[in-house]
Chain A
Amino acid sequence: MPFTCIYVPNFSIAAALRAEPELQIRALAIFEGKPPLEQIIAVNEKSRELGISPGMSKAQAELCSEIALRPRSPLQESSAYSALLDCAQSFSPVVEDTARDTVLLDLAGMESLFGSLTKISHEIFDRAAALGLNANVATASNPNAALLAARGFSRVTVIPAGKEAERLGALPIDVLFDENLEADQKEEADRMIETLARWGIRSLRALAALPEVSLSERLGQQGLHLQKLARGIATRTLVSVEVPLVFEEAIELEHPIVLLEPLAFLLNRLLEQLCARLASRALATQELRLMLELSNLTGIDDEFDNVGIPSESDDSRKANENLGAPLLAVFARGGDFQSREGRSTHLHRQSKFIRKLSLPLPMLDAKVFLKLLQLDLNAHPPGAPIMQIHLSAEPARPRSAQGGLFLPPAPEPEKLELTLARIAGIVGEQRVGAVELLDTHHPEGFRMRRFVAEVARKTPQRKSPDAAEAQAAVTALRRFRPPVHVHVTLENGQPMRLTCPRKKEVQGEILWKAGPWRLSGDWWDRDAWSRDEWDVAVRNNESVAFYRLVHDLLAGDWFVEGTYD
């Protein structure tokens, strides 16, 4: 039974590079701890060349100007770990999360699906790279041999059955011990390595060649176990993990973002990673959740004066005048954000800013998601500098639609969603969509709801040609919103003349009328209404126009509600 191990060396560095790929070409070091006692915990190859090593203090590392220092980010490591699991579970249902940087897969039966073991291993490597992880992939006939090979060899390694000892022999003893051991375990491991080094045992081949009896006398069962590992014959069963489907990506920023453009750049990266992870599971999403952690704005940080946060100084005021729409969009319309007046600071503290994007259908297009988020943020800016970005997607089954040659045209869901978002930015969010009538007699008893164009919907029952021909067109009413207030001249309780300064075409002598019809409703509510409706004909220039005249019985006002047209 073949097993594959995916191992991400230097996991903290890998997680940071996954969030910021542009740091690949630079010397990078990750630090952890409380200031001023931060220590370097991980470095990449370029940093080692500059003499930076784990255990140094941050202050020492900062002496090197070429190095990029980043704090350890549990968020980024969690995202990287989730991506690793997604990659593994896209190839096998039996996955063990051996460590935060190591996963083991059982590939039994997968060759008939994915091809040869070499092909599968290369595909796993490519999939991990697509998810932003520079991983080592090794395949062997038992999990431990695969694990050791992944730790010792870079890129892709495939060990044929029976050749484990031969292939693993050249690896150093260090691969037998995990990098991320607890303190006491690490101490014991160091002691073991030191003992073996004193014996001149530096490779797995040398350890495998030792006599078993003598080894057990000196190192006990642990020594025998290590020897079995070195020979590649130690086997065990995998403990598969059932990971909940959580698709989240996050990034912490060193400097707060104040413009929408760099925010869009980072969102694009997160969306691409999310979509890649969803695609690896053959899933789509119908809901995106964006959470921005904002910086508190109590007092004024001097370093932010020049980037446009309103303040009292002339320089920053001039900077504000020169700001373009993106910055103003971040700050000006935050709702709770107010510019300073006088000496006091009236800035609302806002720590979290959450936006939820609900999609009409399951989709998986990073570009569409980015555009929708941009349009949403333009309409609802955060109102403060952004320190962290969290993006999560609710997984959903991808939609399936059966097209047809003879179906009437329908808008594409992704294009339509973008179009509706853009139109909502023009006319307002609640002013575009489909209409839904409410169960009420109120004249404005309707509401707007989301417009969804589903291709595979029930075909409408088409009227027979005879029925269609027999049905006359319905006389429609064009409403005035808001209704036009008029003065009505009454005679014996009947309206005789309309006067309307606001709409000259409405006023005139009433030539003909029908009514009144009394309507009322919601008498049990604060919004009770009661009205008399008249249909009247008023001469309008050279023609006659029909209007609906309404007498509000509660307020006593007269309105022209609309035109019959």
Chain B
Amino acid sequence: MSSAVVSTSAALGRPFLFDADVEEEPCHPERGGKCAKRISRGVEEPALSLPKESLPYLETSLDPRLANITPASRLEIRPAPEMVASGIPALDALTGGLPRGCLTEIYGPASSGRTSVMLAALAAATDRGEYCALIDASDALDPHFLTAAGIDLDRLLWVRCNENSPQRNRVTEKNLFKKKISQRADQSEHRLEQVLRATDLLLESGGFGLILLDLADIPHQSARRIPLTTWFRFRRAVEHKPTILLAIEQQPIAGSCSSLQLQLGSQNFSDITPHSQSHTHLLTGLEIRTELIRSRLDRKPARSVAFETKTAWAG
């Protein structure tokens, strides 16, 4: 059973704010709506005439001070984030571009075109004159493909995470009671720790137009152990900045913190015949299928596009 709470003052038609100098008179609606007469220290203030539906209007009518207060029920309309080119026209047609001040996730299996999309985004950002940072969890970047993609190397900061960091070497104490985990999982977690710390530092430093987290080779079992609070912190850090935060993964791990999620997949290879002996084959590129999984920015129906990437030697 619902109930409504109505204050006694509202019921009696008395003002909500009580002035110590004001003598109150009870409300008498039969007097033509005049409910109160404010008398303060010998100066009679004009009575406020109240309409019959007093409650919603008391805020603004009774006291001018209340007129300047925005009610909590009125939410501010946030401006839409600026969308910038991703470097791939088909992707821009699907999503409108990459949003500034938001977290974007691009995920897919191996050879699904994630790194190609990453390089295209870097090329577009450096072409705009922005500085970019790539936090490479697996140290997988091949610099020769940077120039092929048209990236300005002077504007790219490359952070190469690794297993033998100085910080890890300084840790000499080991918890003997810690559950034994596989060496590979331990290495992945150590790399992830470096990624998260470097990301925090770069977001705090500011000034970068694009910050990329390359987690594509981190096993999903390790990557999903990044707490959502971390992703939330990253999102809040870029919220009011002109920085694009882009994460490349095997599976989505940021939950609702990402504003845009794209799933990539490679072409159907059923027509590839095994034991192909032709020596004239040449890898000319990949056909990538992209599906828009989620977009908080512009509610479009989920759909997909396909585009091709070309190898540097394809001509």
In the complex, how many angstroms separate the beta carbon of A516 from the nearest chain B beta carbon? 9
Measured CB to CB, the closest approach of chain A to B309, in angstroms, equals 4
Min CB distance A242 to B, Å, is: 40
Contacts of A512 in B (CB 8 A): 269, 272-274, 276, 281
Contact A505 B198 (CB under 8 A): no
Residues of B112-130 contacting chain A, CB below 8 A: 112-120, 124, 126-130
Please tell me which stretch of A70-78, A196-204, A283-291, A466-474 contacts chain B, meaning at least 4 of its Cβ atoms lie within 8 angstroms of it.
Answer: A466-474
Pick from A411, A473, A479: contact of B131, CB below 8 A: A411
Pick out which of these stretches binds chain A: B11-19, B45-53, B63-71, B165-173: B165-173
Scoring B85, B112, B207, B286 by chain A CB atoms within 10 A of each residue's CB, the highest score goes to: B207
B265 touches A474 (CB 8 A): no
B228 → chain A closest CB, angstroms:
23
Taking CB atoms, residues of chain A closer than 8 Å to B140 are 478-481, 562
- B163: min CB distance to chain A, Å: 10
Q: List A524-541 residues whose CB lies under 8 Å from chain B.
A: 535, 537, 540-541
Interface pair A432/B208, CB less than 8 Å apart: no
Cβ of A408 within 8 Å of any chain B Cβ, yes or no, is: yes
Is the Cβ of A427 less than 8 Å from the Cβ of B145? no
Determine which of B165, B265, B275, B310 lies in contact with A473 in the assembled complex, contact meaning CB atoms within 8 Å. Answer: B310
Given A476-B118, A535-B283: A433 and B142 within 8 A (CB)? no
Which of the segments B1-9, B24-32, B154-162 contacts the partner chain? Answer: B154-162
Q: Which residue of B lies closest to A463 (CB)?
A: B127
Residue in A closest to B308 when the chains form the complex, CB atoms: A472
Interface set, chain A 453-469, CB cutoff 8 A to B: 453, 457, 459-460, 462-463, 468-469
- Is A501's CB within 8 Å of the partner chain B? no
Provided the pairs A473-B117, A477-B142 are in contact, do residues A511 and B216 lie with their beta carbons within 8 angstroms? no
A-B contact count (CB 8 A): 244
Interchain CB contact under 8 A, A544 and B127: no
Cβ B128 vs Cβ A427 within 8 A: no
A407 lies within 8 A of chain B by Cβ:
yes
Chain B residue nearest to A453 in the complex (CB) = B131
Bound complex: CA A408 to CA B100 (Å): 13
Docked Cα-Cα span, A410 to B265, in Å, equals 34
Contact between B162 and A431, CB atoms less than 8 A apart: yes
Q: Which residue of B lies closest to A379 (CB)?
A: B166
Q: Which residues of B contact A431 (CB under 8 A)?
A: 139, 159-162
Are B157 and A434 in touch, CB under 8 angstroms?
yes
- Check A475 against B116 for contact (C-beta < 8 Å): yes
A302 at the interface (CB under 8 A from B): no
CB pair B117–A471 under 8 Å, yes or no, is no
Q: Given contacts A426-B197, A565-B216, is CB(A453)–CB(B207) below 8 Å? A: yes
Contacts of B307 in A (CB 8 A): 472-473
A425 to B146, CA, bound (A): 26
Nearest Cβ distance between residue B250 and chain A, in whole angstroms? 11
Given A427-B159, A565-B114, do A411 and B208 touch, yes or no (CB 8 Å)? yes
A304: Cβ under 8 A from any B Cβ:
no
Cα–Cα distance between A416 and B111 once the two chains are bound (Å): 34
Q: Which residues does chain B contribute within 8 Å of A409, judged by CB atoms?
A: 130-131, 206-209, 242-243
Contact with B along A433-453 (1 / 0, CB 8 A): 111110000010110100111
Report B120 CB to chain A, min CB distance, Å.
Answer: 4
CB distance B207 to A474 under 8 Å? no
Known: A426-B194, A432-B157, A564-B283. A408 touches B128 (CB 8 A): yes
A253 at the interface (CB under 8 A from B): no
Q: Are B145 and A437 in contact (CB under 8 A)?
A: no
User: Most A CB atoms within 10 A — which of B111, B127, B129, B274?
Assistant: B111
B272 and A514 contacting across the interface, CB-CB below 8 Å? no
Chain A residue contacts of B149, Cβ below 8 A = 473-474, 476
A423 within 8 A of B: yes
* Distance (whole angstroms) from the CB of B54 to the closest CB of chain A: 51
A78 to B216, CA, bound (A): 58
Looking across the interface, which residue of chain A has its beta carbon closest to that of B281?
A514
Q: In the docked arrangement, what's the CA distance between A419 and B157, Å?
A: 12
Q: What CA separation (Å) do A505 and B217 show in the bound complex?
A: 11
User: Contact at A511–B272, with CB atoms within 8 Å?
Assistant: yes
- A473-B217 contact given A422-B201, A514-B283, A543-B265, CB 8 Å threshold: no
| Interface residue from B124, B202, B216, B283 paired with A546 (Cβ < 8 Å) | B283
Q: Mark B133-153, 1 if CB is under 8 A from A, else 0.
A: 000001111111111111011
- Does A469 contact B89, Cβ atoms closer than 8 Å? yes
Given contacts A434-B154, A448-B158, A512-B281, are A478 and B272 in contact (CB under 8 A)? no
Which single residue of chain B is at the shortest CB-CB distance from A512? B272
Interface residues in A3-46 by Cβ distance below 8 A to B read none
> A473–B116 Cα gap in the complex (Å)?
6
Q: Does A93 contact B (CB under 8 A)?
A: no
Say if the beta carbon of A314 comes within 8 Å of chain B. no
The reply to whether B269 and A544 contact each other, CB–CB distance below 8 Å, is: yes
- Once the chains are docked, how many angstroms separate the CA of A189 from the CA of B198? 69
List A contacts of B118 (CB < 8 A): 476
The one of B131, B272, B312 in contact with A537, judged by C-beta atoms closer than 8 angstroms, is B272
Q: How far is the CA of A543 from the CA of B146 in the complex (A)?
A: 26
List, in ascending order, chain A residues with CB within 8 A of B148's CB.
Answer: 474
Q: Which residue of A lies closest to B154 (CB)?
A: A434
**A337 and B269 alpha carbons, distance in the complex (Å):** 59
Docked complex Cα distance between A428 and B136 (Å):
13
Residues of A within 8 A of B243 (CB): 409
Q: Does A98 contact B (CB under 8 A)?
A: no
The winner among B109, B156, B162 for most chain A CB atoms within 10 A is B109
Task: List chain A residues, Cβ under 8 A from B282.
Answer: 514
B251 interfacial contact with A, CB 8 Å: no
Q: Contact: B87 with A473, CB < 8 Å? A: yes
CA distance A411 to B241 in the complex (A): 12
Chain A: minimal CB distance from B289 (Å): 11
**Smallest CB-CB separation from A435: which chain B residue?**
B143
> Are the CB atoms of A423 and B201 closer together than 8 Å?
yes
The listed residue with most B CB atoms (<10 A of its CB), out of A407, A443, A472, A496, is A472
Closest 5 A-B residue pairs measured CB to CB?
A411-B207, A514-B281, A476-B115, A565-B115, A419-B205
Known contacts A473-B87, A480-B140, then 8 further A-B pairs from the complex at CB < 8 Å, ordered by chain A residue: A419-B201, A422-B201, A446-B143, A460-B126, A462-B129, A478-B138, A544-B266, A546-B283
A residues apposed to B, CB below 8 Å: 333, 379, 407-412, 415-416, 418-420, 422-423, 425-428, 431-437, 443, 445-446, 448, 451-453, 457, 459-460, 462-463, 468-469, 471-481, 494, 496, 505, 509-514, 535, 537, 540-541, 543-546, 562-565
- Sample 15 A-B pairs with CB under 8 A, ordered by A number: A411-B131, A419-B202, A419-B205, A423-B201, A453-B131, A476-B145, A477-B142, A478-B217, A511-B274, A512-B276, A514-B281, A540-B110, A543-B110, A563-B111, A565-B216
